Structure formats: C-alpha cells, structure tokens
Amino acid sequence: MSLQQVIQKLEDLYPHQPEFIQAVKEVAITIEDIYDNNTNYNTYKIFERLTEPDRIISFRVNWEDDAGNIQVNRGWRVQFSNALGPYKGGLRFHPTVNESVLKFLGFEQIFKNALTGLPMGGAKGGSDFDPKGKSDNEIRRFCYAFIRELYQYIGKDLDVPAGDIGVGGREVSYMFAMYKNLTHEYSGVLTGKGVGFGGSLIRTEATGYGAVYFLENMLAVNNDNLQGKKVLVSGAGNVSLHAAEKAIMLGATVLTVSDSKGTLHDAQGFDQQKIDWLKEQKACHKPLAEYIEKFGGEWLEGQKPWQFKADIALPCATQNEVDATNAQQMVDNSIKYVVEGANMPLTAEAIDVIREHHVHYAPGKAANAGGVAVSGLEMSQNSVRQYRSFEELDEQLKCIMRNIHDDAASAAQQYAKGDEPCVDYMTGANIAGFKRAADALVAYGVLN
C-alpha cells in the first residue's frame, strides 16, 4: 500500500478524527522519498502499522465532587508503539480531549521519543475532565479514580505516563501515590513526580528550556543568537512560562503570553519577577488580566499574540492555535523563526504560509522533545535509584536538544529537494524519527 492509500484507508475508517489525520498527513508528505526507496518499508507494511495504535484502553472514571455528587468522565490511554521502548507520553486533562486528539498526540510521540535517542515508545492518554474551577480535593479524588482504572495497564517497563495540559507535578504525584497504594510497588511508573520522592530536577522546566535550546541551535546555524531579539509567546502554562524564562535569561525580550481568554502584552518585556508572578497566578487558575494592575501593559481580551512586531514566535499553548491568517500576520510582523513549544500548534495551511515565506520553522516533535527527554532521564535515575544534579541534567538536556537539532538538520540536508534558504527541520525531524521506529519494526518482522 502506498502512503496515499494508507491515508485514504485512515480517512475512510476515522472520518471523525481530523487531528489524527492531520498529524499522519504531515508525516507522510515528508517521508515519501525514503519510503519509496526502501522496499522493506512497503513489504513490512510499516506505515500501516505505525498509524494504527497497538491498543487503546478506554474507561469510565467515577469520582465524587465536594458537594457529594457523583461525576462521570471518560479516560483513555493510547499505547501507540513500543518499538523503541516502554510506551511513554503524557496525560492530558481538558474538556476537548477525545480519541482523535489523543491519537494525534500518541502518533507524534513515537517520532519525538525516537528523536531523543532514549529507549522510549510512544503513547498518550488523558480525560475530558476539566480541572478549571475544581478544588484541590476534587483534583485529588479525580486523579485517584483515574489511576484506579488505569493502573493495571501501566508499569515502569510497560507504559510510563507523565504530564501534559492540565496535568503537572501535583496531579502526577497524586496518581503516583494511588499506583503505589494499589500495587505496593515503589517504581518509576510515572515521570514528573515531585522532586524528593523520585522526580527529576529540571523536568518542570525541560520542555520550555529545551525549545529555547533548540532555537539557539537554529540561530547558531545563521551565526546569530537570542541577545536583543523580540519574542512572542502564546500560552501561560508550563511550556510557555519556562520557554519565556529561558529566552529572557539568554538576553531576549519577551513581549507576550496568552491563555484561552486573551493575550497579555508588556512592551517593556517580562523579567524574572513578572514571570514568577505569572507562574503563581496560573497555578491558582487566576486571571492573567490582573497583571496590568500590578505591572502595567495591556490585556487583549479574546485575542492572540501574533499582532505584534517581533523576531521570534513560540506557540506553546495547544494544537491548531495558529491558522493561515495568524501565520500571515507573523510574516507581516517580520517574524523570522517559529519554534513549536506546543504539539502541532500550526495548522497545515499555517505551515505552508510560514515555509513559503522562508521563515525558519521547527516542528514540535523536535523542538519540544526536551520534556520527554528529561522524563527518560527520570526513568533511568529511578532505575538505578540515584539522583543527578540540576546542572548535570541541564547539560544533558542541552546535549540532547543539540543532537536532535543536528540529526534533523543532517537528514534534511541529505534529502533536500532544492537549494532551500532555510533548513527543512520538518522533513528532517520526520525522517530521522520515522527511520528509527521503522527500522526496528522491520527487524522485528511481523510482530510489533
């Protein structure tokens, strides 16, 4: 079956899963050449196998709210591929979670994890539970109930979940406690745990910091650096605020952050004190808009951050947050680099606009791999029952991000179509990640 035929089959089978189909198409258009030149890939039906999850575990989660009412949510774990290691990937708690979203995230995770060079397969999970407006007790009861359903399908060498949207250190720690309680086993079954009982230093910062390290490598290719650059960040969560923090540390001026309600613009730029305030504010689910009473700036209700002139855009909120119109706005506002902190934040049309205008572009599966990479380091620390220092782990994170950058850049160069003015990181990352997973499947024969 050709790649096109596989896509057609998926479109027929899953017409109601647009995010998943979008993610598959994005990979397919970039791997066509290597796929056609390796007869094994066709013989072993590699693309068909990599686009159908090994299994999807789907379950009901009953929990009790503070008023004593029983609430019912849906939970999933998409175990996409363990070709390269135990299933690995985050859990998302957000009302928009469904099978399409989790399949797109799990599919991308296969290639992202492959790019880290660490032994991790691809998975994703979560629930349509909405943590907003819930008390700490409700969050705890939900996390306990969620893992009570999932615990028998995960394990330190089987499937190792972590955080994603709506799931951070607090939630992972509750889930870890329930797993430990049910199994009587203290193991590295989840990553992103609290530091002090198995969690790794720098895991919280790793995705945002890693994205900025990736950006530094891109800039270095063009003999440039972050000093004095103007940066637009979207989102105000874990990835956004740590990306902003690292960019500021490296001399950039960050002008915006945002959330689902609107955009906060500070023409003076954020500093560490302002970032710390934003972290506190978001941790309590309080409005970003309150910032202007304390620090000035402007709050743009219902708007996105791409209307400002800057050099670099870091979309770090959620999938498809940047459409073709937003991408054109970036181009018009002289953005030269777009680095995806979020997973698939650009629509396919937005990517086309960015690339047509020769904006340097790094896809999420390469640029935001720092989070899962440090999760991999947490797994190995848990296995040998030792902790590494912040400095040591930060160096490892930088090294992994440089390797991902260089692997993607060299694959891009090897398979470049013409004399492109920008490194094609999208093609390079997809090819480098795909080859690792695909070659393992060929070696395994018929089994996954």
Q: Which residues are catalytic?
A: 124
Compute, in degrees rounded to 10, the torsion defined by CA atoms 399, 405, 109, 233.
Answer: 100
Stretch that binds ligand NDP, among 144-152, 158-166, 214-222, 429-437 (CB under 6 A): 158-166
User: To the nearest whole angstrom, how small is the minimum distance from the Cβ of residue 373 to ligand 2IT?
Assistant: 8
Which of 85, 117, 121, 163 touches ligand NDP by CB under 6 A? Answer: 163
User: To the nearest whole angstrom, how small is the minimum distance from the Cβ of residue 4 to ligand NDP?
Assistant: 28
CA separation for the pair 84, 122 (Å, rounded)? 8
CA separation for the pair 314, 338 (Å, rounded)? 6
Q: Name which of ligand 2IT, ligand NDP, none residue 89 binds, using a CB cut-off of 5 to 8 Å depending on partner kind.
A: ligand 2IT
User: Quick check: 375 binds ligand 2IT (CB under 6 A)?
Assistant: yes
User: Quick check: 317 binds ligand NDP (CB under 6 A)?
Assistant: yes
Amino acid code (one letter) for 18: P
Q: Name which of ligand NDP, ligand 2IT, none residue 342 binds, using a CB cut-off of 5 to 8 Å depending on partner kind.
A: ligand NDP
47 or 209: CB nearest ligand NDP? 209
Buried b (16+ CB within 10 A) or exposed e, 274-290: bbeebbebbeeeeebbe
Whether the Cβ atoms of residue 65 and residue 71 lie closer than 8 Å to each other: yes
Which of 53, 85, 90, 125 touches ligand 2IT by CB under 6 A? Answer: 90
Residue closest to 211 by CA, chosen among 336, 339, 113, 311: 339
Which one-letter DSSP state was computed for residue 262? E
User: To the nearest whole angstrom, how small is the minimum distance from the Cβ of residue 8 to ligand NDP?
Assistant: 28
61 or 233: CB nearest ligand NDP? 233
101 or 145: CB nearest ligand 2IT? 101
Stretch that binds ligand 2IT, among 88-96, 257-265, 271-279, 326-334 (CB under 6 A): 88-96
Interacting residues of 197 by C-beta distance below 8 A, sequence separation 6+: 173, 176
User: To the nearest whole angstrom, how small is the minimum distance from the Cβ of residue 165 to ligand NDP?
Assistant: 4
Q: Name which of ligand 2IT, ligand NDP, none residue 236 binds, using a CB cut-off of 5 to 8 Å depending on partner kind.
A: ligand NDP
Stretch that binds ligand NDP, among 17-25, 53-61, 67-75, 231-239 (CB under 6 A): 231-239
User: Quick check: 216 binds ligand NDP (CB under 6 A)?
Assistant: no
Whether the Cβ atoms of residue 165 and residue 93 lie closer than 8 Å to each other: yes
Intra-chain end-to-end CA distance of the chain, in Å:
18
User: To the nearest whole angstrom, how small is the minimum distance from the Cβ of residue 153 to ligand NDP?
Assistant: 21
Burial of 431 (0-12, 13-18, 19+ CB in 10 A): buried
User: Quick check: 341 binds ligand 2IT (CB under 6 A)?
Assistant: no
User: Quick check: 164 binds ligand 2IT (CB under 6 A)?
Assistant: yes
Residue closest to 442 by CA, chosen among 117, 86, 44: 44
Residue closest to 79 by CA, chosen among 121, 117, 48: 121
Stretch that binds ligand NDP, among 21-29, 76-84, 256-264, 399-407 (CB under 6 A): 256-264
Interacting residues of 160 by C-beta distance below 8 A, sequence separation 6+: 86, 87, 88, 120, 154, 188, 189, 190, 191, 375, 379
CA separation for the pair 188, 389 (Å, rounded)? 18
Pairing of strands 298-301, 262-265: antiparallel
User: Quick check: 162 binds ligand 2IT (CB under 6 A)?
Assistant: yes
Which of 235, 297, 305, 376 touches ligand NDP by CB under 6 A? Answer: 235
CA separation for the pair 240, 313 (Å, rounded)? 11
Which of 371, 377, 427, 437 touches ligand 2IT by CB under 6 A? Answer: 371
Contacts with ligand 2IT by CB under 6 A lie at 88-90, 112, 162, 164, 191, 343, 371-372, 375
Contacts with ligand NDP by CB under 6 A lie at 163-166, 207, 235-240, 259-261, 316-318, 321, 341-343, 368, 371
